[in-house]
Structure formats: C-alpha cells, structure tokens
Amino acid sequence: MSFVTVRDVWKSYDGRPILERVNVDVEEGEFISIVGASGCGKSTFLRLLLADELPSRGAIRIEQGHRAMEPNQERGVVFQRYSVFPHMTVRDNIVAAESFGTRSGWFFGKRLRGARERADETLARIGLSHVADNYPATLSGGMQQRLAIGQALTAQPRILLLDEPFGALDPGTRLAMHDFLTELRARTKMTVFMVTHDLTEGFKLGDRVLVFDKPRWDPHDPGAYGATITYDFDARDEGIPFQTIKEKTHVPVSA
C-alpha cells in the first residue's frame, strides 16, 4: 500500500479543466519533484494535495485515511513567498508552529520556555540563531525560506509541500538551500513534493520527477483539455535525466 494515493483526480475552474485523470502513488519518504510548463496546473496539484482546494473528481489520501477537506497538520507547506508571519520574530515564528495547535494559540510559562528552547535548537540547526530576535522583513530571501522550512517541519507534518520554494533566490543561495534541504531530509525522512521550474534542481533533489503536460491538445481551443502526469522519471543515481521510465506514460510516443 502506498503512502500517498492520488486516484483519478480532476480539477476544473469555472468548467475549464485544469487537471484531468491524475493518478500517482508515492511511498513514504520519497522526494517527488514536479515540473511542467507555466500555467499547466502544478500549483493547483499542490493545492489539492494540501487540501486548500478539493478535487472536482477523484480522491487524494494519505495512508488510506480520510479525504482531507481543509489544510491540516498532516500537510506542511512552503510557498515561494509569504510563508512566514511578518509580525512575529524569527524565534516566535518557530514557536508558533507548536503553539498554533493549542486552543488559544499562545504558550505561557513553562511551556513557552520549553518551546523557546526547542525553537533555539531548531534555529541553530538551520543557521538562523544570530537573527532569532529579528523580524522576517530584515532577513534575506534565502534565510526567510530556511525559516519557512524550519517552521513547517516543526509542526511535524506527514508530507511536506514546496511550491517553487527557491524560485526567488539567486543561484548561489539556491545551491546552499539544496544542501540544506538534502541534509534536512536525510535526518527527517520526510515525504516531499516540490514544484520547480528548474529541471536540474528537480532531478538533483528528487527521487522521482513528475512531468505535467496536456496529453490532448485542441488547436482551436487551448483550454479545452487539462494537464496530467505525462512522464514519471526515476531520478535517483545522481539524477541523470535519461533513466528508465518507471511507469507507463499516458501518451502515445508520437504526441
């Protein structure tokens, strides 16, 4: 039994199909990279996994559980921007990952001190100790994304969803973030879905690379059909992109 099961998922907006017949099984601990043309529905797919939006048809389950109706603690997320709370210090952003699940959203006294200590350990691990008391606006883009990832992981989600998390970073910072993420994953064995525009990044980090594309194309009405997973590459072994195709593709080779 696979860990995350996506079964015959369709999604349309205002009757316009964006995704159609998406099927995929993901094992626990796998790192899935998602690539595809701009506007083909990668973020939409991620929002479906997140349960921020519900599929028009089909179902997404984690460990055969219930279909989620809204985002919850099982799913962590990091967006390209706006992923941390601007009105909280760096440390409080990490503490919030623990305290938000409580009734009032606040920790007091001993619990607060405990959470702060754990937050400081997390910050030391992600290299943000020296800015613990700063507000996110004073951090560089790479530091903000490190904070966002640290925050998401503090809540101990079962799957981590990343939507172009390094899209706004310069190439050098990107490489540093790759190392950061690789090391983090080696430690947590988290199941990750990451949307990226950078194929190299996708193959470098991912165990599998899913390609979203439209299998059918109506030249008179480009919006007539939705996108689906057209390729599912095995990206292990240094991510050399001409690996065996693991699953059957949904398109004839001529398409």
Partner 1 sequence: MRLINRRPSRPVAVLLAALPFVLIVIAYMIGSDLRLAANPQDKLLPAPSTIWDTAVRLFTEPDKRSGRILLWADTGASLRRLALGVGIAAAISLSLGVLIGLLPYARRLLSGFVAVISMVPPLALLPILFIVFGLGEVSKVVLIVIGITPFLTRDLSQRVLDIPHEEIVKAQTLGASTLVIALRVVLPQILPRLISAIRLALGSAWLFLIAAEAVAADVGLGYRIFLVRRYLAMDVILTYVLWITFLAFVIDWALKRLSGKAFPWMGAGL
Ligand X SMILES: Nc1ncnc2c1ncn2[C@@H]1O[C@H](COP(=O)(O)OP(=O)(O)OP(=O)(O)O)[C@@H](O)[C@H]1O
List residues binding partner 1 (CB under 8 A): 50, 52, 70-73, 75-77, 79, 81-88, 96-97, 100-106, 135-138, 148, 151-152, 155, 157
Rounded to the nearest angstrom, the gap between the alpha carbon of residue 77 and the centroid of all alpha carbons in its chain is 6
Rounded to the nearest angstrom, the gap between the alpha carbon of residue 89 and the centroid of all alpha carbons in its chain is 24
DSSP 200-211: HHHHHH-SEEEE
- Choose the contact partner of 189 out of partner 1, Mg ion, ligand X, none; CB within 5 to 8 A by kind: none
Stretch of residues binding Mg ion (CB under 5 A), selected from 14-22, 37-45, 58-66, 214-222: 37-45
**32 contacts 193 by C-beta, under 8 angstroms:** yes
> In the bound complex, what is the minimum distance in angstroms from residue 40's beta carbon to ligand X?
5
Q: Which of 30, 33, 35, 42 binds ligand X (CB under 6 A)?
A: 42
Contact partners, residue 94, CB within 8 Å, separation at least 6: 118, 119, 122, 123, 147, 150, 151, 154
Burial category of 24 from C-beta neighbours within 10 Å (exposed 0-12, middle 13-18, buried 19 and up)? buried
Angle CA(108)–CA(128)–CA(161) in degrees, nearest 5?
85
Report residue 81 as tokens: 């921007």
Question: Nearer to Mg ion by C-beta: 6 or 18?
Answer: 18
> In the bound complex, what is the minimum distance in angstroms from residue 183's beta carbon to ligand X?
27
Site residues (CB under 6 A) for ligand X, limited to 1-40: 13, 18, 36, 38-40
Terminal alpha carbon distance of the chain? 32
- Choose the contact partner of 64 out of ligand X, partner 1, Mg ion, none; CB within 5 to 8 A by kind: none
Site residues (CB under 6 A) for ligand X, limited to 44-63: 44
Question: Nearer to ligand X by C-beta: 146 or 214?
Answer: 214
Q: Which of 2, 12, 23, 43 binds Mg ion (CB under 5 A)?
A: 43
Binding site for ligand X (CB under 6 A): 13, 18, 36, 38-44
